[in-house]
Amino acid sequence: MSSGPLKFEINGRTLRFATLDDFAFSLSGRTQIAASSVTNLMQLTPNELRREATNIRDVERCFVDLLADALKDPDAVGELLAGIDNRLLSEDNEWRAIMTALLDESSGFDEYKHLALVKYMQYLAARRDVVKSIYAQRFGGQEPLAAQEPAVNGGAKSTLIMDEDSEPDTESAQIRFARLPRGETVTVRTPSNGELSIMLSRHKFQLFATDTPRLTDDNGVNYPLKSGVNVIGRHPGNDVVVGGWYRDVSRKHLLVDTSDCDNLGLTDLSTHGTFLPGKLLGNADE
């Protein structure tokens, strides 16, 4: 893969990026929902907002699956993106045009494609948060409708789309936690004892990066981790399948790369977040 200069045209304009960092800076400004889109969302009825939230959730799941596959096989990111239905890409902030232009680039620009995928997922999360905020402000007194979705065990469960906020307690007397950036792989230096605390949403787990890496939940259940990339969450196809009672843990919540147990690679894919002690993320005041 290459991180050399990139040039493409969208909507009659030529965009040039000297480095991958330049491209990241440009896309970061597009991860927030456009003001015109906020205005349009403000005009929606309660049912329309619920429908919008459900649509965003479904699109997010598609892109979470795609990113998980791309992290397992970085050379496949171009092919994976090419398989995405163009209608799943928002025209907001020119995302559809950018993604379409990137697909015309060779595999030498796969790093750019991967970065665009990550930033688009962050845009989707921001859009979801805006929809939920508008609903809460305008219709908070109304009872949210339950949206039926398949459960991971093949049954059905009722999820309150507009009432999913289960904020974790990220502060305690001993440890203050910080949230991982969604979709971005963070390398964490393993503490000298080989153990670190990690929160999947509001649930505290222990991650052991020893000769036999494992994840231990708050019930004492151990989940072995293989060498390499591990997908963790509630979906039965994951490398690590946590208990279905962790309902606010996402289907595909976290990727843990144990290729180097001294330096773990962590990628959050979740809705409600993955949290680590701030000191492990370089927060000097933690």
Going residue by residue through the chain, which has 286 residues, state the pLDDT in tens, using 9 for 90 and above. 456 799 998 888 999 999 999 999 999 999 999 999 999 999 999 999 999 999 999 999 999 999 999 999 989 999 999 999 989 999 999 999 999 999 888 888 999 999 999 999 999 999 999 999 999 888 875 544 434 334 444 443 434 455 454 555 555 545 689 999 999 999 999 999 999 999 999 999 999 998 889 999 999 999 999 999 999 999 999 999 998 889 899 999 999 999 998 999 999 999 999 999 988 887 544 4
Q: How far apart (Å, rounded) are the C-alpha atoms in residues 145 and 50?
A: 8
Residue type, 142: Q
257-276: b (≥16 Cβ within 10 Å) or e: bbeebeebbbbbbbbbbbbb
Residue type, 21: D
pTM of the entire predicted model: 0.81
Give the chain's domains with CATH numbers: 6-140 (no CATH), 177-281 (2.60.200)
Q: How far apart (Å, rounded) are the C-alpha atoms in residues 76 and 117?
A: 13
